């Protein structure tokens, strides 16, 4: 944990990945994040696999998105549950949720309702589609957004069937947008803004912006301009087969291409009339990539990687997921380090990858069990022992027995 946001309190009402991932990043940066879950918990707690030596409700998807948080379990539909949230809102700087707007409204958590409770609150809703458009209110999960934002369909440019990128990219891109939106709002408040500030993060628009960053291409300048960044869409832009495996190679500058072609024994390409102009190489990128594909099978992966690294040409072996667990660079930087405060059932954790110089990191807090902090949070809100006992007995709140 890096204590840069110490003193900032964030109330997180979210589940699965987009909201929790954003909340975890903010918690990693030192904010106090109180995660509010329904009585049955975030559905990600039931994700597989489950750690053998972990307490119940600790699926890997939950563990990897909820460290450094406090956990409160409460029935948000009950009168007492709504009163608890009201007390927490008055004490918070930020509300982060990924509920559909209509569901938030039914719980009394619309922007207007929340701003009436805390006029200086930052209200961040991580949702599927922007509320000004006709898709507002549609259910949205990662696969749906990958399809809607054009990501799944990119493969069709090469004559292939549409396919999903095998990672939950839309959720994570949305989470990163939520983080910078919240941080910008906190800066605005620190600079004197006093009124409640609404931050809307729609997954569809966020991923569409992400995809079209390079692929807007000719449509940037003409109404009927051609979309698609040709270098990225080339059929031969792919991992290349060597004699004994696969590697990635990306000569980019003219000098890198020159060094590669000499190493590959293809000096003839240097004499082509278009080679020495960047626009010429761009126009003939399919041909250049086909040259890479044709020469790499002549040597082993290790031989190519040694030569390409020596020539300062961007390259890498093609790692499988399990290769990352043994990657020497990740080992050097302590990437999978687990704090001594973590339960023995957790063998690896993913770090906050941004490095801040001159800041002393504090020990991370393990992902909480369901309702782990219910007692403490309710007590801090002013509830008596008898009132908390009564809510636990009635099933309005949930948490471990008081020690």
Q: Could you tell me which residues are beta bridge partners of residue 33?
A: 10, 69
Q: Of 376, 347, 341, 343, which Cα lies nearest the Cα of 362?
A: 341
Going by C-beta distance under 8 Å and a sequence separation of 6 or more, which residues neighbour residue 191? none
ω into residue 49 within 30 of 0, thus cis? yes
Residue 33 contacts residue 12 (beta carbons within 8 Å): yes
**Strand, coil or helix: 125:** strand
Characterise 352 by phi-psi region: left (phi > 0), alpha (psi -120 to 50), beta (else). Answer: beta
What CA–CA distance (Å, rounded) separates 342 from 347? 9
Q: Is there a catalytic annotation at residue 322? A: no
Label residues 266-295 b or e (16+ Cβ within 10 Å = b): eeebeeeeebeeeeebeeebeebbebbeeb
Residue 152 contacts residue 170 (beta carbons within 8 Å): no
Catalytic residue among 142, 171, 364, 373: 171
Residue 296 corresponds to which tokens in the numbers above? 């790499």
Query: Order of strands across the sheet with 315-317?
Result: 240-241, 246-249, 315-317
Q: At CA 402, angle to CA 88 and CA 85, rounded to 5? A: 15
What CA–CA distance (Å, rounded) separates 200 from 127? 7
Cα distances from 287 to residues 231, 269, 278, 282, 366, in angstroms, run 11, 10, 14, 10, 51
What CA–CA distance (Å, rounded) separates 131 from 7? 32
The string of DSSP codes covering 141-161 is: -HHHHHHHTTTGGGGGGGT--
Residues taking part in catalysis: 171
């Amino acid at each position: 944990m890096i204590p840069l946001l110490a003193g900032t309190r964030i109330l997180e009402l979210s589940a699965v990945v987009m909201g929790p991932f954003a909340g975890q990043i903010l918690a990693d940066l030192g904010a106090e994040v109180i995660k509010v879950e329904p009585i049955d918990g975030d559905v990600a707690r039931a994700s597989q696999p489950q750690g053998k030596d972990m307490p119940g409700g600790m699926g890997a998807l939950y563990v990897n998105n909820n460290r450094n948080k406090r956990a409160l379990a409460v029935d948000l539909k009950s009168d007492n549950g709504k009163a608890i949230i009201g007390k927490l809102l008055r004490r918070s700087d930020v509300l982060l949720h990924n509920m559909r707007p209509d569901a938030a409204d039914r719980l009394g958590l619309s922007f207007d309702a929340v701003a009436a409770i805390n006029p200086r609150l930052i209200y961040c809703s991580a949702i599927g589609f922007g509320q000004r458009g006709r898709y507002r209110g549609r259910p949205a999960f990662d696969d749906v957004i990958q399809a809607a934002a054009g990501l799944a369909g990119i493969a069709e440019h090469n004559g292939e069937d549409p396919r999903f990128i095998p990672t939950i990219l839309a959720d994570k891109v949305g989470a990163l947008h939520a983080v910078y939106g919240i941080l910008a709002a906190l800066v605005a408040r620190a600079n004197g803004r006093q009124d409640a500030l609404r931050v809307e993060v729609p997954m569809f628009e966020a991923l569409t912006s992400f995809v079209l960053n390079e692929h807007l291409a000719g449509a940037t300048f003409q109404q009927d301009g051609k979309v698609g960044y040709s270098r990225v869409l080339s059929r031969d832009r792919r991992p290349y087969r060597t004699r004994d495996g696969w590697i990635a190679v990306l000569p980019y500058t003219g000098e890198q291409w020159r060094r590669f072609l000499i190493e590959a024994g293809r000096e003839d390409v240097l004499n082509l009339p278009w080679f020495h102009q960047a626009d010429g190489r761009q126009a003939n990128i399919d041909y250049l990539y086909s040259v890479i594909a044709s020469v790499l099978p002549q040597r082993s992966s290790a031989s190519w990687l040694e030569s390409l690294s020596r020539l300062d040409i961007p390259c890498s072996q093609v790692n499988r997921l399990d290769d990352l667990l043994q990657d020497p660079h990740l080992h050097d930087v302590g990437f999978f380090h687990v704090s001594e405060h973590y339960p023995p059932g957790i063998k690896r954790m993913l770090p906050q990858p941004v490095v801040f110089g001159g800041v002393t990191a504090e020990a991370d807090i393990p992902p909480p069990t369901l309702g782990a902090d219910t007692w403490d949070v309710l007590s801090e809100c002013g509830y008596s022992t008898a009132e908390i006992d009564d809510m636990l007995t009635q099933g309005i709140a949930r948490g471990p027995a008081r020690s």
